[in-house]
A and B are shown apart, each in its own frame.
Chain A
């Protein structure tokens, strides 16, 4: 088992960095190019949520990224220091009346690309998401 922990600024550069870092770890874990792409995209969407909707680009708030490689796959935890988030407040992006809405598809993509997705309050404040992708699912 290999673990990596890092703290990132609330910027879009951090989103790119988180995506690149996790894709690299996914490659080391044994995921092929498509698997790495899916994991990277899920992480990107979560990191955008943390920076934009959670921390609202606040320079005093950080994004916390934990990546764990295991024999069976990869687990990624991304936390923000925002005001919290109600996942049920997101309208179903697949409903006909929402298809032409500009936003609201991030969680849909995350769920499509990962095997497990869990969102919960972060200890100490903010929101934390946990993503798991298994090598067997490739």
Chain B
């Protein structure tokens, strides 16, 4: 299964619910296209919900970093919520925990946007 992304609005925060695998190929390109589309439509507060993501490879990590750069360069914020232990481990290994603001609780995450 590749990744499935659905978006919903919580106040002025756009929550992207991701499910499946974000890996080289369809998964990573779907993720990239979705983030770019949301930014192009003027969404500046993006919260990526990874609680149903079972697997991210280095290409998927790369797309998350690229999405982060795209959003922040446009004056927005991109944050993460619902990381599994494996995804948290990936952020530790790659030191990307210093880049991404990550939360366990969605309400707290939504409230953190300025």
Q: B94 contacts A105, CB within 8 Å?
A: yes
The residue on B at minimum CB distance from A11 is: B25
A103 in the interface (beta carbon within 8 A): yes
Q: A100 contacts B69, CB within 8 Å?
A: yes
Q: A93 contacts B68, CB within 8 Å?
A: no
The residue on A at minimum CB distance from B62 is: A102
Distance of A112 from chain B, by nearest CB (Å): 5
Stretch at the interface among B3-11, B40-48, B53-61, B74-82: B53-61
* Chain A contacts for B38, CB-based, 8 A: none
B88 in the interface (beta carbon within 8 A): no
Q: B63 contacts A102, CB within 8 Å?
A: yes
Q: B23 contacts A44, CB within 8 Å?
A: yes
A24 in the interface (beta carbon within 8 A): no
Tell me how many residues of B have a C-beta within 8 Å of chain A.
22
Tell me how many residues of A have a C-beta within 8 Å of chain B.
21
Q: B90 contacts A109, CB within 8 Å?
A: yes
Complex-state Cα separation, A93 to B61, whole angstroms: 12
A52 in the interface (beta carbon within 8 A): yes
Q: A101 contacts B24, CB within 8 Å?
A: no
Q: By DSSP majority rule, is chain A's interface helix, strand, loop, or mixed?
A: helix
B108 in the interface (beta carbon within 8 A): no
Complex-state Cα separation, A112 to B90, whole angstroms: 10
Distance of B6 from chain A, by nearest CB (Å): 24
Q: A103 contacts B98, CB within 8 Å?
A: no
Complex-state Cα separation, A100 to B95, whole angstroms: 10
* Chain A contacts for B25, CB-based, 8 A: 12
Most buried by A among B25, B57, B69, B98: B57
Q: A48 contacts B65, CB within 8 Å?
A: no
Q: B65 contacts A100, CB within 8 Å?
A: yes
Contacts of A25-53 to chain B: CB distance below 8 A: 34, 37, 41, 44-45, 48, 52
B residues contacting A by CB (< 8 A) are: 23-25, 55, 57-59, 61-63, 65-66, 68-69, 86, 90, 93-96, 98-99
A residues contacting B by CB (< 8 A) are: 12, 15, 34, 37, 41, 44-45, 48, 52, 93-94, 99-103, 105-106, 108-109, 112
14 contacts between A and B (CB under 8 A): A34-B86, A37-B86, A44-B57, A99-B96, A100-B68, A100-B69, A100-B99, A102-B62, A102-B66, A103-B58, A105-B62, A106-B58, A108-B93, A109-B90
